[in-house]
Amino acid sequence: MKANLAQFQRQNIITRVKSPSKHASKMIQPQASNIKDRSDWGLATRLVHSEGYVDDAFPSSMPPLYQTATFSQPGATEMGEYDYSRSGNPTRTVLESQFADLEGACRSFAFSSGMSALAAAVRIVKSGEHIVAGDDLYGGTSRLLSTIVPVHANIDVTNVDTTNLKAVQAAIIPGKTRMVMLESPTNPRMQICDIKAICDIAHAAGALVCVDNSIMCPLFQRPLDLGADISMTSATKFIGGHSDVTGGLLAVKDAELAEQIYFVQNAEGTALGPFDCWLLIRGLKTMALRMERQARNADAIANWLTEQPEVKTVNFPGLSTHPGSSIHAAQASSSGSIISFITGDAVFSKKIVDAAKLHKITVSFGNVVSLISMPCYMSHASIPADVRAARGLPDDLIRISVGIEDVKDLIADLNQAFRAARS
């Protein structure tokens, strides 16, 4: 049996490939001289084919799951490539290496949630320094920056309208501002920020830029290509795609900055577990199919919403009436699948949401199932009402995360929900 195994291994020669991961030496992929270099592949192809596979005696067609906390070492005074899954796990290495490739990053890091990923990015900022952040952010991010960061880390935070470049410039304090944090599109008002212009402003003052790219993902937008230093993606959304895993990913451009992020990830124990990493690797393979279908559905639904007499404003960058549509088209390849709209009447909006059947009343977004919610009462409820009002976040706002269902059925569902709200 051992002889047969040795012969099998010799016949299945594998070649190590370069990887941005700390554990690069364990990444392999089959030799393939008859195909183009990976850098020539489209994103959809790179989503299906992982950056590398874990060294495996039986080269599997899918990356194996290393569901273990510890690894045996070569000797009493020798350390192997992996020792403890908090510090590194082969399954997590596959995910982090592939995501770095998709983002055009030096390295990427998988965390237990999107919030733990953002918290790790904030750790780069020292006590006494300053963060400039958008004023239309996910509720959890706003909570982190308004309560934890100022109180427990002694870091000042200034919220500004990041669609206004002059406001961003004015908020930055040279020598003190360490980081600018933004979303584009923003959540939930779907405002568009000029990422490249903000990066230029921030870098001129010596500040880093961290972009929450959860709505677009690297399939539709790559913040690092636009000048950002850190790109954060909530893997809970489109990466997993089925609302059955929680995770967050940081993609980092600079090697020195990457080492700092890795130190925080390891020291604080916030790395994503191997099974969740395995689920995300699987999710990546269908992400292009899902997101492209969702985007087509969203385009049709956004146009349908503009025709409803009760709808005052539809926030969707794919509409020519959206004030940021031209900027978004210049920095992203799709309008995505998140829509928000206002009716001017919170009671009417509530009736619409309650009457929806195919659209599930759920927080988060990016699921294959269409979701609907009123952010002020769910995902953004942690933001005080007076702060929401000052930032222009109205109680009647409805957010839809468009799924992969038949778009005719989705529109029919919304149509019946509007009829029910009118009655």
Residues that are catalytic: 86, 138, 212, 237
Q: Is 209 helix (H, G, I), strand (E, B) or coil?
A: strand
β-bridge pairing 208-212 and 230-234: parallel
Cα distance between residue 102 and residue 124, in whole Å: 23
E strand or H helix at 108, and its extent?
Answer: strand 107-111
In this structure, what token pair is assigned to residue 72? 């045996």
Total Cβ atoms within 10 A of residue 126: 10
Cα distance between residue 99 and residue 251, in whole Å: 7
Biggest CA pair distance of the chain: 77
Q: Strand 53-54: give its sheet, edge to edge.
A: 15-16, 27-29, 53-54
In this structure, what token pair is assigned to residue 55? 């060294």
- Least Cα distance to 132 among 169, 103, 78, 105 occurs for 169
Cα distance between residue 12 and residue 100, in whole Å: 27
Count Cβ atoms within 10 A of the Cβ of residue 408 and give its class: 0-12 exposed, 13-18 middle, 19 or more buried.
Answer: exposed
Cα distance between residue 174 and residue 188, in whole Å: 30
In this structure, what token pair is assigned to residue 80? 């192997």
Q: Can you give the C-alpha Rg of the chain in angstroms?
A: 23
Cα distance between residue 200 and residue 206, in whole Å: 10
CB 189 within 8 A of CB 393: yes
Cα distance between residue 328 and residue 21, in whole Å: 31
Q: Is 377 helix (H, G, I), strand (E, B) or coil?
A: helix
In this structure, what token pair is assigned to residue 391? 């930032």
